[in-house]
């Protein structure tokens, strides 16, 4: 298989900001979600053929409160309030994995905060096929 990494700081960011003040990120930084329901990052991904894919979202949550996010693929909900629990520190990164089906060609993957606390800090999305 192949794995393609899509940095959050290069994605479409709604109610969030790219920052680089916590170590350990990939690329040039990460996205700090605003403290708002609906804050989100949307990646545009490309797959040569339809099929099952593993999505891996790398994140840090230095709080002790879960920061759930809805995950959509091409606008369809694929994970409802997926948990992003505390990682122990803002510079401690973990990955959250889910399996989805992607069509051939271009797809959008969006991670949207569902609570007023906002999302975790998000480093990247990987698509493994
Ligand atoms: C801290 C931390 C940020 C984080 C924020 C939060 O301010 O430095 O990177 O995004 O907490 O609680 O969301």
Residue 121 Cβ contacting ligand 1 at under 6 Å = yes
What is the predicted pLDDT for the residue at 1?
87
With the most atoms of ligand 1 within 8 angstroms of its CB, the residue from 19, 121, 123 to mutate is 121
Name the residue with the closest Cα to ligand 1, atom 3.
32
CA dist 83 and 55 (Å) reads 15
Distance 80 CA to ligand 1 centre (A): 23
Distance 33 CA to ligand 1 centre (A): 8
From first to last of its 129 residues, the chain has per-residue pLDDT tens of 899 999 999 999 999 999 999 999 999 999 999 999 999 999 999 999 999 999 999 999 999 999 999 999 999 999 999 999 999 999 999 999 999 999 999 999 999 999 999 999 999 999 999
What is the predicted pLDDT for the residue at 65?
98
**Count of CB atoms situated within 10 Å of the CB of 104:** 11
What is the predicted pLDDT for the residue at 9?
98
Fold category of 3-128 in CATH: Jelly Rolls (2.60.120)
| Domain residue limits, the chain | 3-128
Residues 56 and 95 sit within 8 Å (Cβ to Cβ): yes
């Amino acid at each position: 298989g192949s794995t393609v990494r899509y940095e959050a700081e290069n994605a479409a960011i709604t109610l969030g900001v790219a920052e680089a003040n916590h170590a350990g990120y990939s690329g040039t930084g990460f996205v700090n979600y605003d403290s708002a329901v609906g804050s989100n990052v949307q990646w545009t991904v490309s797959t040569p053929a339809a099929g099952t894919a593993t999505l891996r979202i790398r994140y840090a949550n230095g709080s002790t409160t879960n920061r759930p996010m809805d995950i959509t693929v091409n606008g369809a909900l694929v994970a409802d309030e997926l948990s992003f629990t505390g990682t122990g520190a803002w510079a401690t990164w973990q990955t959250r994995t889910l399996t989805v089906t992607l069509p051939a060609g271009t797809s959008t993957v969006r991670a949207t905060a569902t609570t007023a606390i906002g999302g975790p800090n998000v480093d990247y999305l990987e698509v493994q096929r």
